[in-house]
Amino acid sequence: MTEMFDKLSHDQQLNILLELARQATRHYDLPEGLEVDLLNLSENATYRVRAPDGRRWALRLHRAGYHSRQAIASELAWLNDLREKHVVVTPAPVPGKDGELIQTLRHPRMGEARNVVLSHWENGVEPSITQNLTGPFEVLGEVTARMHLHSRQWQRPVWFTRPIWNFETALGETNPHWGRWRDGMGVDAPLAALFGRTVAAIGKRLAAYGQPPDRFGLIHCDLRLANLLVDGPVVKVIDFDDCGFSWFMYDAATPVSFYEHDPQVPELLEAWKTGYRRVTPLARADEDEIPTFIMLRRILLLAWIGSHAETETAQAMGIAYTQGTAGLCDAYLAKYG
């Protein structure tokens, strides 16, 4: 059945996912006459659910085989505690009619069941790189620091499980989470050689930097602009789907995802660090390694684009993103190679 679904056209798959999303709404205490519209298709399919009276929710159909039910429950446990402790504004999950936050549904044309989570809608606007983001990045730095302090102190449930994002699982050759960077769009032999030298330099620096508890722990892992909502002076954080164990300073790199080459990035990073320091000290060794995490993230996204070529984001980035990475690699190697 899964093979049958995978062989369907993109539009046919979207229709089946929409059918499943509409079916999922019936597992919650929601009003009649709902509108269900696709918001985003990436690892998961996310829908806006709108009632006739204007109330809205976000419904996520989890991709089959990406996260276990236990891993999703772990994600929800962390974001719920972050919200309840007033660390950061996050979407509040809605229990189903059976009281469970995670619903599991099947579709006759899918081989595997899909896990579903419904959350209350959060107001706000996704920031754009075309705007002046200095102020929001200062706030984001504060928010990220509070999340890191919470992560270090939080007593996780004994059953808690989330992915580990280290050098091997990001850029390694054996079984990287998002595929091999060598399979990125347009990675020819000269680029592969350049990227390979950069990856080796990243690995060497991170091996020296290490993974002690004050540098490596539970983080969001994907604070890119699409996962932030600016609501007046508040910066809200959504989509904890990739949260896991990694270097805390990796959270400094993800907000500039897909725009690492933009001229305003150095200014935005300074704003982020200013906000971070308002909450907790930022060690010089941590600050010095941020460029390494930006480079790691850039090459990791090459792998993601290559393994998610069907998504709008990957198609928008395309080969131009791969080619633009070369200049960043040259600059990085000149300083750290």
Between CA 152 and CA 155 the distance in angstroms is 9
Does 336 score more than 60 pLDDT? yes
Are residue 16 and residue 72 in the same domain, yes or no? yes
pLDDT in tens, 117-145: 999 999 999 999 999 999 999 999 999 99
pLDDT of residue 312: 82
At 243, the amino acid letter reads C
pLDDT in tens, 222-279: 999 999 999 999 999 999 999 999 999 999 999 999 999 999 999 999 999 999 999 9
Are residue 148 and residue 29 in the same domain, yes or no? no
Number of domains in the chain: 2
Question: Contact at 8 Å (CB) between 10 and 310?
Answer: yes
Are residue 145 and residue 176 in the same domain, yes or no? yes
Does 24 score more than 60 pLDDT? yes
Between CA 223 and CA 155 the distance in angstroms is 23
Domain assignment of residue 128, yes or no = no
pLDDT of residue 313: 85
Domain that holds residue 242: 134-336
Mean of pLDDT values over 181-189? 95
Residue 325 structure tokens: 């990475």
DSSP H or E stretch at residue 235: strand 234-237
CATH number of the domain bearing residue 154? 3.90.1200.10
Mean pLDDT lowest for which of 34-43, 198-207, 276-285? 34-43
Are residue 281 and residue 195 in the same domain, yes or no? yes
The model's pTM is 0.94
pLDDT of residue 319: 93
